[in-house]
Amino acid sequence: MNTIQLTIDGREIAAKEGDTVLQAARSAGIRIPTLCYHERLNPIASCGMCYVEIGGYSEPVQSCATPVAPGMDVVTQSEVLTDMRKESLQRLLLHHPLDCPICDKAGECRLQDLVFEYGIHADELQPPAKPREVVYATSLIKYWPDRCVLCLRCVTACKEVKGVCALGVAETEGRRHLEFYPERCVSCGECLQLCPVGALTENLSPTKGRAFLVNKVPTTCTYCGCGCQMELSVLDNRVVDVKGKDDAGVNQASLCVKGRFGYEFISSDQRLTKPLVKKDGEFQEVDWDQAIRVVARRFNQVKKEHGADAIGGFSSARCTNEDNYLFQKFMRAVIGTNNVDHCARL
């Protein structure tokens, strides 16, 4: 691929042809603040944070939507750019409540980080206008219109990543807000994953754990055999949140509705934690060795009285391929039957 030579903050940079100024800067380790930009999406250019100055241009341009050109001389930090970025943040905060103490996103909010970085204080701002009513909510996702900065990440991701188009933008009484098409929504949570603020939150329960309190645990989703990578937020040995792991695995941070929201069962008090064996008509807890001996004895008894084909094995898509292979091998080679089925076959 052809490369293009340009200068960013006095450094000679070699960028790929077709890259934007923002991509070229990031590849060289030069930070340009952004709020709406995301690597997996086409440039949205809605937040006004990534402006840069380019020699020969009459005014600053948005680096996320400006392609590199040979000989460009780019400046990413100046007094003019700082003032523009502060104005953009102050404009967003005119309609954004400073409710960080109760917001689910506090501690990992892109807007919160930028407000702190640029030294904007609450006493500089007017109180937000009349709060907007909740426009929509699903059983799994809640939209907080007052917190929304209309970065349009969610709308773009729903269209470009999922191809669902369940979100759009509408205007009511002169104010723009998200529009929801429930008949299209598949509750995958892609919008929630990419929201940089607390405008889209999980609707299963209230705030369960701050970002700086939880332990992040990378793992693999067990709902099917795709191998999607995810990151669990664990607090007090309890899973309180699930996110797709960025730029990892086949899913590249995307998850289905089960993978993202189907974790409440993990801490359910109805889950079995020890083997149970029925004695005198009632289940009693036993250790694993005793449970395995009971199962082995019953298998032998059934085989002796009715033959091996009286026993069937039912496997699970949540197991690994290796576990399922061993299971069918056990049924065929040890039990002596081909009565093996799988929950995902249908």
Domain boundary among 247, 267, 287: 267
Q: Say how many C-beta atoms besides its own lie within 10 A of residue 251's C-beta.
A: 17
Q: 148 with 53, same domain?
A: no
Q: 47 with 160, same domain?
A: no
**Per-residue confidence in pLDDT tens, the chain, 346 aa:** 689 999 999 999 999 999 999 999 999 999 999 999 999 999 999 999 999 999 999 999 999 999 999 999 999 999 999 999 999 999 888 878 777 888 888 888 999 999 999 998 766 665 555 666 666 678 888 888 888 999 999 999 999 999 999 999 988 777 788 888 989 999 899 999 999 999 998 887 655 678 888 999 999 998 877 889 999 999 988 898 899 988 777 888 999 999 999 988 888 888 888 999 999 999 999 999 999 999 999 999 999 999 999 999 999 877 778 999 999 999 999 999 999 998 777 5
Q: 113 with 211, same domain?
A: yes
Q: 193 with 74, same domain?
A: no
Domain boundary among 267, 294, 315: 267
Q: 227 with 159, same domain?
A: yes
Q: What pLDDT does 226 receive?
A: 83
Answer for the pair 330, 337: CB distance below 8 angstroms, yes or no.
no
- Residue 54's CATH number: 3.10.20.740
Look up residue 245 and give its two tokens: 């792991």
Q: 209 with 230, same domain?
A: yes
- Residue 197's CATH number: 3.30.70.20
Which of 152, 78, 149 shows the shortest CA–CA distance to 115? 149
Phi (first) and psi of residue 58, to 5 degrees: -75, -25
Q: 35 with 106, same domain?
A: no
Q: What angle do CA 132, 152, 137 make, to 5 degrees?
A: 45
Q: What whole-number distance in Å separates Cα of residue 76 and Cα of residue 70?
A: 17
Whole domain around residue 65: which residue ranges?
A: 3-89
Q: 214 with 336, same domain?
A: no
Q: 70 with 101, same domain?
A: no
Q: What whole-number distance in Å separates Cα of residue 180 and Cα of residue 162?
A: 15
- How does strand 3-8 pair with strand 73-75? parallel
Q: What whole-number distance in Å separates Cα of residue 165 and Cα of residue 159?
A: 5
Q: What whole-number distance in Å separates Cα of residue 329 and Cα of residue 322?
A: 11
Domain boundary among 213, 232, 267: 267
Location of structure tokens 């077709």:
18
Q: 85 with 133, same domain?
A: no
Number of domains in the chain: 3
Q: 247 with 287, same domain?
A: no
Q: Is the dihedral of CA 325, 327, 332, 337 positive or negative?
A: negative
Q: 161 with 258, same domain?
A: yes
Answer for the pair 155, 102: CB distance below 8 angstroms, yes or no.
no
